[in-house]
Amino acid sequence: MIHINSVFGQRTDSSLVIEKGDTFYLVHKNIPKYKFFGNSWYTSLAYNLSKTNEFNFDFGRTYGTFSSIPREDGIRTRTYGVGYGITSKKGVKTQLVRLFWEYNYFLQCGSMLGGGRVEFIHDLNNNSNYLRPSIGLSFIWIDIFYNYSIKLDSGENIFRHGVTFRINLFYNSKDWYQTYRSNIN
């Protein structure tokens, strides 16, 4: 195997891996210098249906990849960021701030789709903290996740079980890392 422009090197327009035994090569485009900082901006709007009705807005960074090679054909995203939410229970409105990390995949070749998310939530009005793991279906731009909020302080858990419906918006998704297979001429 011959490697030209290592995939783990600096950001370049493309990288080329030639398989000598076959008649194809892999092209890598938009290689990021650092995966942690991501390659696009992220915003989302969400509605969480639980013991309370919760509306959220999130903002962060995403590391997205497109792949069109066998067994990896699809889209994957890793996102982290901050968010703000409002919830109400019995007419009492509560403000929430959050930190989150999310991983989603949508593999086109075998109908695998899904994702997971972990949020740390701070209730500004009641001065309480929650940890909310979520898992569910992800179509990259639309998520439907089941979650359970774990209260980290004593007192009533105002959320417990819930279902979140989220619309994800990615700014500059054209900059996502791409891998595809091309024939040798």
| Residues 112-170 pLDDT 10s | 678 999 999 999 988 999 999 999 998 888 999 999 999 998 888 888 899 999 999 99
Residue 28 lies in a domain: no
Residue 14, pLDDT score? 52
Across 82-118, b (16+ Cβ under 10 Å) vs e yields ebebebeeeeeebebebebebbbbbbeeeeebbbebb
Query: Rounded to an integer, what distance in angstroms lies between the CA atom of residue 26 and that of residue 99?
Result: 37
For residue 31, give the DSSP letter: -
In a domain, 5, yes or no: no
Query: Tell me, what's the pLDDT at 155?
Result: 83
Rounded to the nearest integer, the mean pLDDT of the chain is 82
- Please report whether residue 20 resides in a domain: no
**Residue 126, domain member (yes or no):** yes
Residue 16 within any structural domain of the chain: no
Token readout for 102 is 């999310």
pLDDT computed for residue 140 by the predictor: 83
Question: Is 10 a residue whose pLDDT tops 50?
Answer: no
**For residue 69, is it within any domain?**
yes
pLDDT digits (tens, 9 = 90+) for 12-37: 455 555 555 555 667 777 777 777 78
- Residue 17: inside a domain, yes or no? no
pLDDT for 7: 43
pLDDT at position 84, please? 97
Q: Which of 63-67, 98-102, 155-159, 175-179 has the highest mean pLDDT?
A: 98-102
Give the per-residue pLDDT at 44. 96
Confidence label for 6 from pLDDT (cuts 50, 70 and 90): very low
Please report whether residue 180 resides in a domain.
no
Question: What does the pLDDT read at residue 12?
Answer: 46
List the domain range (segments joined by +) for residue 49: 36-174
CATH at residue 55:
2.40.160
Specify burial of residue 134 (Cβ count, 10 A radius: 0-12, 13-18, 19+): buried
Based on the structure, what is the number of domains in the chain?
1
pLDDT at position 9, please?
A: 39
